[in-house]
Structure 1
Amino acid sequence: MDPNFVRADNSNLPKIDAFMVGHFFKNNADYYATELKNVKTAMSARGSYGDDAIGYVQLHREHGICKIKCKVCPEHKVRTKAYNVTMTVNENDSEIISYQCHECAATAGGCKHAVAFSMWTHRRSEEPACTFIECYWRKPTLSRVGSTFKYITVQQMSRKELPHRPSTSTLYTEFICEAKRKKN
């Protein structure tokens, strides 16, 4: 571990959203070249590669700037030395400043290891906190139908708020008007 760095975990990793990643790749000339808009880059961004290839993640915060370092295992020669990738994030402005792959030959023109690391950090920052626990030891909502009320509505079954729909009388009236109009 590098001096002044700490091990990264889901509680201290900076929040990297899809807009930050997209904005960085859009504004960085190394990553919107024709060569990078291909299958090889898409393969680097997939979760199965990044989750298996990235390890030893450490970070250092100083004055709103967070440096995150990791080691990325090569995809084809897994026994060779891992690539060191560094990502710099301005947490105050919610902006990715840079990615650097230190041992890669393609680092000057954009690197697939940096793409894999960016998507990995994005996925990890979307995970729930380790203290978030949903209890499944509860009575199912549907099983309450016969005991406390005769029927259950969709609003009662769902925890999400449903979009507003017109009342049935308005809908019925509109339906009849449209039917009469088409009949004439």
Structure 2
Amino acid sequence: MEQGFSKANSTNLPRIHLLMLGEFLASNKDFCSAEFRNVKTSMSSRPSYGDDAVSYVQLKREGDICIVKCKVCPEHKVHAKLYSVTLIMDEQEEAVKSIECHDCVSQGGCKHAIAFLMWIHRRSEEPSCTSVECYWMKSKLSRAGSTLKYLTASEMSNAKPICHQIQKYLKSF
């Protein structure tokens, strides 16, 4: 964790409502190109990617400005280096100021920035009043291949071996 930052959880994460999200995406030139208007944005913003790829979320508040940083796991090379993404927002004005992926080759908006922005928006829609969920953890996507190394043939099938089925059938006569 970086100096001055604290672990993000469900109680200290900034709220990004739908109007803030729409206003930022409409006014930011990095996300208004033809490339981002349809398929790429919808694929990057889907919960099945962002919820599994976002990890190690930390934040710092300096007056009305909230800086939120995270690591995003690559979708196709889950064991590669994680992408660092930073979101800056003004909580007083209720406006997202910027979001930037520091490790992408592209100069401007990328799928990792969209995934993180939509991740924070989804967390804003589901606040829990009784529990606190910590977001400082390894992403689910980056754990692929590390907990389960192999499957045996018997583990792949829930069916009983065929000889047991034949014996049961013969006993029914």
Normalising by the smaller structure, the TM-score range is: 0.7 to 0.9
Determine the C-alpha separation between the residues in 2 that align with 1:53 and 1:71. 8
After TM superposition, the structure 1 = structure 2 runs for residues 27-176 of structure 1, keeping only pairs within 5 Å, are 27-106=27-106, 108-131=107-130
Note if contact 1:10-1:130 (Cα within 8 Å) is conserved in structure 2.
no
RMSD: 1.1
- 1:32-85 per-position Cα deviation (integer Å, ceiling 9, x unaligned): 101112312211000110000000000000111000000000011111000000
Q: Contact 1:44/1:112 (CA < 8 Å) preserved in 2?
A: yes
Give 1:130 shift. Answer: 4.2
Q: Distance in 2 between matches of 1:62 and 1:90?
A: 10
Q: Alignment identity in percent?
A: 55
Q: Take 2:48 and 2:117, find their aligned partners in 1: how far apart are those partners?
A: 14
Using the size of structure 1 for normalisation, the TM-score is 0.69
Report how many residues are paired. 131
Residues 93-149 of structure 1: CA deviation (Å, up to 9, x unaligned): 00000001000012x2311111000100000011132417xxxxxxxxxxxxxxxxx
The equivalent residue for 1:18 is 18
Structure 2 unaligned segments of length 5 or more: list them: 132-173
Stretch of structure 1 that moved more, 2-11 or 123-132: 123-132
Q: 1:42 to 1:35 in 2, by over 3 A?
A: same
Q: 1:125, 1:62 → 2: CA distance?
A: 20
Contact preservation (8 Å) 1:66, 1:91 = yes
* Structure label with greater radius of gyration: 1
Conserved 8 A contact 1:14-1:91: yes
After the TM superposition, which parts of structure 1 deviate over 4 Å for at least 4 consecutive aligned residues?
none
Matched residue type, 1:82: L
Could you tell me the TM-score, scaled by structure 2's length? 0.73
Unaligned residue ranges in structure 1 (runs of 5+): 133-184
The residue number in structure 2 matching 1:141 is none
Matched AA of 1:37: R
